């Protein structure tokens, strides 16, 4: 279950890592191809699926695919971890709302097409389908709502619940972690994250045993190889960092200046999404629009598409704080984290203190390339390939030849083998957070007990269970959904069109 394009990719790949035997891809995926110099790279292309990645959440032990996304594989595999059943079936859902991925974004991920549902519809699906494992790839508040909903709406045997983070955790650490507490597994992407997660839980008196070290599931790909005569510099843009127009224009000018200073290099501005599309974070000032006001040298191009394919031809990745830096480092691609706008928590580049990657455009213009610190890399769960050696796989991130998801898979298998699972017990309850939890649940149409609110009181003419009550409830839901969609549309228009105009007027 996911609520944005990036979290959909993380959740789907994580679900397949937890499955006992990775199934074949849903459809054949083309091998990575070099990026043609004449191509605008704007057409989405499905990414190769490592180990048969499909979509999440995972359902083990099923005989047939259930739902719109499903794939089966025979055998338990070398690392089956004892999960019962010969096949693993994966069904995907996205949470209908403001950040629902577009069809293009989902197709670009190459992970199948999920079913779009509300939170209440997802809880009903879990109850009816009786999934063994549910992966919640959601923002913290949505995870908390689903945990309370699963605690009351799950079938007789509830599923194992897994959650985690899609990338670098550099803000709202305590808030996000406590909202995820109550899941059976809270995946940490590195040894560094595992230590921090446990420290937060222990510090508030919450059980830290759910924290399990894993890795970012999309690490991997071909190791970097220098190609004679090729020097491709890629700037990985982020939708929310930096936030101001002045800072974004500065980065665009420096990128263009680097391209002019090095006409022999191909300089690419890698964009997350097209204008009007929503990502994990809202982008108020798309680089595409800002770039129109600047003259562009011929060797500078704006590109879209799967980051893995872009990294196939990257010789230097430059970013402010994107998780793409970890993907690049894992492949051995030279990587630079900019300090031009400062090293600040608001930018997220403070996460890279001690990495050896912090540098500036002035140094990059002069030909310098940062050298990463190997101890920092290992602590971040990143394993660059040895010179001349094969690319490290995603599941081996930070662990050499060891499978980084082995512990998580074994934990899931042990829970599935139990006669009964313990009740879901989130840190936030009506007793511990009476002024915080009800608002979180209400945003997902759940009452304080974690169940869906009754539209009208019993004993009235519109009471549930009567024909009039059911009809009135359907009308109310239809009107409420229509009003909600209209409000979302107005919000999108305001963020993407009205707000930038007002900001420009204010700068006059």
> What is the spatial distance between Cα 391 and Cα 69, in angstroms, rounded to a whole number?
29
Confidence check: pLDDT of 388 > 90: no
- Separation in Å, CA 273 to CA 63, 92, 236, 239: 37, 22, 12, 8
Does residue 227 contact residue 314 with C-beta atoms inside 8 Å?
A: no
Point out which residues pair with 58 in neighbouring strands. 90
> What is the spatial distance between Cα 450 and Cα 149, in angstroms, rounded to a whole number?
5
> What is the spatial distance between Cα 290 and Cα 251, in angstroms, rounded to a whole number?
11
Vertex 93, ends 239 and 116: CA angle to 5°?
Answer: 80
Q: What is the pLDDT of residue 49?
A: 29
pLDDT digits (tens, 9 = 90+) for 220-236: 889 999 999 999 999 99
Confidence check: pLDDT of 83 > 50: no
Fold of 232-387: Rossmann fold (3.40.50)
Per-residue DSSP letter, 101: P
Confidence check: pLDDT of 138 > 70: yes
Confidence check: pLDDT of 276 > 80: no
Confidence check: pLDDT of 73 > 50: no
Confidence check: pLDDT of 272 > 70: yes
Percent of the chain with pLDDT over 70: 68
Confidence check: pLDDT of 248 > 80: yes
pLDDT-based confidence at residue 389 (cuts at 50, 70, 90)? low
Q: What is the pLDDT of residue 58?
A: 36
User: Which range has the top average pLDDT, 56-70, 112-126, 396-410, 466-480?
Assistant: 112-126
> What is the spatial distance between Cα 311 and Cα 299, in angstroms, rounded to a whole number?
18
Please choose, from the candidates 292, 331, 342, 278, the residue with its C-alpha nearest in 3D space to the C-alpha of residue 309: 331
CA atoms within 13 A on the CB side of 188: 25
Q: Provide mean pLDDT across the span 130-158.
A: 90
pLDDT digits (tens, 9 = 90+) for 433-481: 999 999 999 988 887 666 665 343 333 334 444 455 555 656 766 676 6
Vertex 353, ends 180 and 193: CA angle to 5°?
Answer: 25
> What is the spatial distance between Cα 92 and Cα 58, in angstroms, rounded to a whole number?
8
User: Which range has the top average pLDDT, 272-286, 291-305, 470-484?
Assistant: 291-305
Q: Provide mean pLDDT across the span 61-67.
A: 30
Per-residue DSSP letter, 271: -
> What is the spatial distance between Cα 377 and Cα 356, in angstroms, rounded to a whole number?
10
Q: What is the pLDDT of residue 87?
A: 65
Q: What is the pLDDT of residue 38?
A: 32
**Weakest-pLDDT range from 51-65, 222-236, 400-414:** 51-65
Confidence check: pLDDT of 24 > 70: no
Which residue matches tokens 């997350």? 272
User: Which range has the top average pLDDT, 105-109, 127-131, 292-296, 362-366?
Assistant: 362-366
- Separation in Å, CA 211 to CA 164, 200, 312, 498: 9, 11, 33, 43
User: Which range has the top average pLDDT, 58-72, 320-334, 396-410?
Assistant: 320-334
Cα Rg for the chain, rounded, in angstroms? 23
Instruction: Detail the DSSP E strand segments found in 320-415.
Output: 335-338, 358-359
Task: Give me the count of residues in the chain.
Answer: 508
Q: What is the pLDDT of residue 350?
A: 96
Mean pLDDT, rounded, of the chain: 78
Q: What is the pLDDT of residue 477?
A: 62
Q: Provide mean pLDDT across the span 344-351.
A: 95
Does residue 383 contact residue 396 with C-beta atoms inside 8 Å?
A: yes
**Predicted TM-score of the model (pTM):** 0.77
Q: What is the pLDDT of residue 6?
A: 85
Please list, in sequence order, all residues whose beta carbon lies within 8 angstroms of the beta carbon of residue 93, skipping any fewer than 6 positions away: 1, 2, 57, 114, 115, 116, 117, 122, 125
Q: What is the pLDDT of residue 4?
A: 85
pLDDT-based confidence at residue 201 (cuts at 50, 70, 90)? very high
> What is the spatial distance between Cα 203 and Cα 209, in angstroms, rounded to a whole number?
13
pLDDT-based confidence at residue 403 (cuts at 50, 70, 90)? confident
pLDDT-based confidence at residue 273 (cuts at 50, 70, 90)? low
The ranges assigned to domains in the chain are 1-19+89-221+391-453, 232-387
| Cα 42 to chain centroid, rounded | 21
Please list, in sequence order, all residues whose beta carbon lies within 8 angstroms of the beta carbon of residue 43, skipping any fewer than 6 positions away: 305
Please choose, from the candidates 93, 82, 24, 26, the residue with its C-alpha nearest in 3D space to the C-alpha of residue 57: 93
pLDDT-based confidence at residue 399 (cuts at 50, 70, 90)? very low
Confidence check: pLDDT of 398 > 60: no
> What is the spatial distance between Cα 371 and Cα 357, in angstroms, rounded to a whole number?
6
Q: Provide mean pLDDT across the span 288-315.
A: 92
Q: Provide mean pLDDT across the span 356-381.
A: 97
Confidence check: pLDDT of 121 > 60: yes
Q: What is the pLDDT of residue 447?
A: 79
Confidence check: pLDDT of 265 > 60: yes
């Amino acid at each position: 279950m996911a609520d944005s394009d990036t979290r959909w990719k993380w959740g789907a790949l994580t679900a397949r890592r937890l499955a006992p035997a990775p199934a074949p891809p849903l459809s054949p995926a083309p091998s990575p191809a070099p990026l043609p110099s004449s191509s605008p790279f704007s057409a989405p292309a499905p990414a190769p699926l490592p180990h048969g990645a499909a979509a999440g959440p995972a359902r083990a032990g099923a005989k047939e695919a259930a739902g719109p996304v499903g794939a089966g594989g025979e055998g338990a595999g070398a690392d089956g971890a004892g999960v019962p059943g010969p096949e693993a079936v994966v069904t995907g859902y996205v949470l209908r709302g403001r950040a629902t991925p577009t069809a293009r974004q989902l197709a670009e991920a190459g992970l199948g097409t999920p079913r779009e549902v509300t939170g209440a519809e997802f809880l009903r699906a879990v109850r009816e389908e009786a999934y063994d494992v549910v992966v919640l790839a959601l923002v913290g508040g949505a995870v908390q709502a689903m945990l309370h909903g699963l605690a009351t709406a799950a079938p007789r045997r509830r599923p194992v619940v897994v959650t985690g983070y899609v990338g670098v955790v550099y803000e709202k650490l305590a808030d996000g972690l406590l909202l995820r507490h109550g899941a059976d597994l809270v995946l940490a992407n590195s040894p560094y994250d595992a230590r921090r997660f446990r420290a937060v839980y222990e510090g508030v008196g919450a059980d830290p045993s759910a924290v399990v070290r894993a890795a970012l599931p999309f690490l991997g790909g071909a190791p970097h190889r220098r190609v004679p005569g090729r020097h491709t510099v890629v700037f990985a843009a982020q939708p929310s960092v930096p936030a101001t127009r002045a800072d974004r224009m500065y980065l665009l000018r420096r990128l263009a200046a680097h391209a002019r200073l090095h006409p022999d290099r191909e300089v690419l501005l890698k964009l997350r999404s097209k204008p009007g599309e929503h990502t994990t974070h809202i982008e108020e000032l798309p680089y595409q629009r800002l770039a129109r006001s600047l003259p562009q040298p011929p060797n500078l191009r704006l590109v879209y598409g799967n980051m893995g394919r872009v990294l196939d031809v990257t010789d230097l990745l430059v970013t402010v704080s994107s998780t793409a830096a970890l993907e690049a480092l894992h492949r051995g691609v030279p990587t630079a984290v900019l300090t031009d706008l400062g090293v600040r928590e608001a930018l997220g580049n403070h996460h890279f203190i001690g990495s050896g990657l912090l540098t500036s455009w002035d140094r990059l213009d002069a030909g310098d390339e940062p050298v990463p610190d190997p101890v920092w890399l290992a602590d971040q769960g990143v394993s660059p390939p040895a010179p001349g050696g094969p690319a490290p796989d995603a599941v081996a991130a930070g662990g050499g030849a060891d499978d980084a998801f082995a512990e998580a898979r074994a934990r899931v298998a042990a829970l599935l083998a139990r006669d009964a699972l313990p009740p879901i017990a989130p840190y936030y309850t009506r007793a511990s957070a009476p002024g915080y939890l009800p608002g979180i649940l209400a945003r997902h149409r759940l009452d304080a007990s974690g169940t869906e609110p009754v539209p009208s009181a019993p004993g009235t003419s519109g009471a549930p269970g009567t024909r009039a009550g059911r009809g009135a409830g359907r009308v109310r839901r239809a009107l409420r959904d229509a009003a909600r969609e209209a409000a979302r549309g107005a919000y999108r228009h305001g963020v993407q069109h009205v707000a930038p105009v007002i900001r420009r007027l204010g700068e006059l």
